[in-house]
Amino acid sequence: MARGDKSKYSSKQRRMAEHIEQGYKKRGASTNKAERIAWATVNKEYGGGTKGGGGSNRKRSRTSERKGGRRGGSR
C-alpha cells in the first residue's frame, strides 16, 4: 500500500476519520492538519487499515474514545 492510499481502510474507519476531521475543522484547524490528525487517530485505534487479509480481528485500543471531550475547557 502506497503512502496516502486509503483503500485498505474499512468504511467504518473512513467514517470515523471524517467525523474526527470535521470536529477539528469546527475548532479552527486547517483542512490539512485536521485530516492528518484524523487519520493518525484512526491508525492509533486500529493499527492501520483492517480491510482485506486475515488477522484484522485484533483488539483495538479505546484510549482516545475514553478521553472524549476532556481536553481543554471547563469541566
What pLDDT is attached to residue 72?
60
Decide if 52 contacts 12 (C-beta within 8 A): no
Residue 2 is predicted with a pLDDT of 63
CA distance 56 to 65: 20
Angstrom distance (rounded) from CA 57 to CA 48: 12
Rounded to 5°, angle at Cα 57 from 44 and 22: 40
Q: Which amino acid is at 22?
A: Q
Domain ranges of the chain: 8-47
Per-residue pLDDT of 8-60, as tens digits, reads 888 999 999 999 999 999 999 999 999 999 999 998 888 877 776 655 556 66
Between 7 and 40, residue with greater pLDDT: 40
Q: Name the residue among 30, 39, 41, 31 with its Cα closest to residue 67.
A: 41
**pTM for this model (two decimals):** 0.65
